A and B are shown apart, each in its own frame.
Chain A
Amino acid sequence: MTVAPERFQTAFPDAVHGISADGIPHILVRPEHLVETIRQCRDALGYGRWVDMTAVDEPEVEPRFELQYMLYSMGEHRWVRIKTQTDDRAPSVTGVFPGANWYEREVYDLFGVEFDGHPNLTRIMMPDGWNGHPLRRDYPIGGEPVDFTVTRETYGTGGGNELRG
């Protein structure tokens, strides 16, 4: 599973390289180099299968979101993880891997990261009119208001004490 990261170091000299606890090498690039890096991984290095994409939120770190893209090499049977960090937006990689479409929509929906160039950046899990992005670490758990269409206020009966007499 492990791979010598030298190949990645020569291919992407400006990036930060490392190996995670699971033996998968990771490449940290700046958002503006993201699309080019992923394209090069696919075309020059043979990582041709789209695997996964997600985000990790650490509100106390600047920038707070770390985006993770995973690709798989069908020839070498190895994964690679491409990372980038952002506060609010990143370029879309749907032009390179069309399979990224729903993954980017999910990160947009649940984290609030916007992807420039995405063909249809709408919410995918939550209802369209939802406020906030639930997978952010500072999103409150529990106690969210429930929107009933008809409440006592609609009829002007106040807090309901009159009804009880």
Chain B
Amino acid sequence: MTLEAPRISNTLHINMGPQHPSTHGVLRVELELDGEVVVKCNPIIGYLHTGIEKTFESLTYVQGVTLTDRMDYLNPMGNNLAYCLSIEQLFECEIPDRATVGRVLLAELTRINSHLVFVGTAGFDLGASSVFLYCLREREKLLDLFEWLTGQRMMTSHIRPGGLASDFEPEWLAATGKFLDSLPKSIDEYESLLTENPLFKDRMIGIGVLKAEDALAWGVTGPVLRATGVAQDLRKTNPYLGYETYDFDAIVGEGGDCYARYKVRVAELREAVKIAQQALKRLPGGPVKTSNRKVMPPPREELGQSMESLIHHFKLFTEGIKPPAGEAYVPVESPRGELGFYIVSDGTGKPVRVHERAPTFANVQALPLMAEGGLVADLIAVIASIDPVMGEVDR
């Protein structure tokens, strides 16, 4: 759009994307090439902009949960979680233990889902197409579990303000446990295809190096930041949902190159399995919805007997929940980094402003730092290693 025709220059200006198989969506990158070397790289976004933050303003808080799924479609329940934590911060309502532990379980399952897609697509982008099939084979099992639990494979909307949409069935918990037990063996299988593969290593090691101080100044978070050697994982530094009581390691890489990012994510995959197994083991009994009737509707069977329940039911479904006026931002560690919803309430049933602090937005912004000076073929590896989800960049 702003390309000028070079007058006396040996550089070539080309567009990569918006429709390019390696851009994971519709990312357009304006490139200035000197031979094979990227002299300048300018990512252009906005092709998926659907005004989600505007749409929030005309929906009730509970309806808004469905929009959060659609921002980061690889991490739907992590997005639900961040959104609900911010709303619950305004309310300060009590969340039952079963819901809290269940949320940890679901957040880690979606992290596994997201990292499986990363490992698969990163291999695919670099020509290792078989690993993609194996990763999606395991992801398919996970999506079946999500469908069993929530009725939806991807747009789950299962975590709601005040708890969870429905309780876990014992059969579902058993099947999830079986899946988690089988996963480490599958991860060994992926690693045997990629981690020590000389072709894969040649394409990844020393490519797209990002320095730690640049990463901090550009707001880069998640595995991309941790690969530079900075131990910044919100589950450790600012624990939520009782993450401090789980036994796991915050993975920190070294080198800040594409290979370090890959290694961090694969190690996180194993940690996520560990956390999910612990959550499964300690899942207590009891309800999964708060007893606060201003947040969660009363159970169906109460409506025939209690006038008060009927009124609560009617108010919740006509006006929605009404958090007290104020602002809240409670971030979580999503598979891509610090994800939080900044919510401003004026005390009515609809939010004044909902802003998503999307980790990929900042990570993609730092793409020129990683790509400039490298080869154009390395750009594919760099984009893959950022693991961008354009749905949350453009919103």
Which residues does A use to contact B, with CB under 8 Å? 1, 20-22, 24, 48-52, 54, 56-58, 68, 70, 74, 77, 79, 81, 97-99, 101-102, 110, 122-128, 134-135, 137, 139, 141
With A22-B327, A52-B340, A97-B217 already in contact, 20 other A-B pairs whose C-beta atoms are closer than 8 Å: A1-B238, A22-B86, A49-B232, A50-B218, A51-B338, A52-B329, A52-B355, A54-B355, A56-B344, A74-B216, A81-B329, A97-B218, A97-B219, A99-B217, A110-B53, A124-B45, A125-B49, A127-B46, A134-B51, A135-B54
Whether B219 and A22, one on each chain, are in contact in the complex, defined by CB atoms closer than 8 angstroms, is no
Which residues does B use to contact A, with CB under 8 Å? 1-2, 45-46, 49, 51, 53-54, 57-58, 86, 89-90, 216-220, 230, 232, 237-238, 324, 326-330, 338, 340, 342, 344, 352-353, 355, 357, 361-362, 365-366, 394-395
Among B49, B51, B216, the residue within 8 A (CB) of A49 is: B216
Residues of A near B230 (CB, < 8 A) are 74
Whether A125 and B338, one on each chain, are in contact in the complex, defined by CB atoms closer than 8 angstroms, is no
Whether A99 and B238, one on each chain, are in contact in the complex, defined by CB atoms closer than 8 angstroms, is no
Whether A52 and B219, one on each chain, are in contact in the complex, defined by CB atoms closer than 8 angstroms, is yes
Whether B89 and A22, one on each chain, are in contact in the complex, defined by CB atoms closer than 8 angstroms, is yes
Among B46, B344, B353, B357, the residue within 8 A (CB) of A51 is: B357
Whether A52 and B357, one on each chain, are in contact in the complex, defined by CB atoms closer than 8 angstroms, is yes
Whether B327 and A77, one on each chain, are in contact in the complex, defined by CB atoms closer than 8 angstroms, is no
- Known contacts: A56-B353, A74-B216. The answer to whether A21 contacts B342 by CB under 8 A is no
Whether A21 and B328, one on each chain, are in contact in the complex, defined by CB atoms closer than 8 angstroms, is yes
Whether B329 and A48, one on each chain, are in contact in the complex, defined by CB atoms closer than 8 angstroms, is no
Whether B327 and A51, one on each chain, are in contact in the complex, defined by CB atoms closer than 8 angstroms, is no
Residues of A near B353 (CB, < 8 A) are 54, 56-57
Query: How many contacts between A and B, using CB within 8 angstroms?
Result: 94
Residues of B near A128 (CB, < 8 A) are 1
Residues of A near B352 (CB, < 8 A) are 56, 58
Residues of B near A137 (CB, < 8 A) are 57
Residues of B near A74 (CB, < 8 A) are 216, 230, 232
Residues of B near A141 (CB, < 8 A) are 54, 58
Whether A99 and B218, one on each chain, are in contact in the complex, defined by CB atoms closer than 8 angstroms, is yes
Residues of B near A99 (CB, < 8 A) are 217-220, 362, 365-366
Whether A20 and B357, one on each chain, are in contact in the complex, defined by CB atoms closer than 8 angstroms, is no
Whether B86 and A50, one on each chain, are in contact in the complex, defined by CB atoms closer than 8 angstroms, is no
Q: How far is the CA of A22 from the CA of B86 in the complex (A)?
A: 8
Q: How far is the CA of A124 from the CA of B340 in the complex (A)?
A: 21
Whether A77 and B217, one on each chain, are in contact in the complex, defined by CB atoms closer than 8 angstroms, is no
Among B217, B342, B395, the residue within 8 A (CB) of A50 is: B217
Q: How far is the CA of A79 from the CA of B54 in the complex (A)?
A: 26
Whether B342 and A68, one on each chain, are in contact in the complex, defined by CB atoms closer than 8 angstroms, is yes
Residues of B near A98 (CB, < 8 A) are 217-218
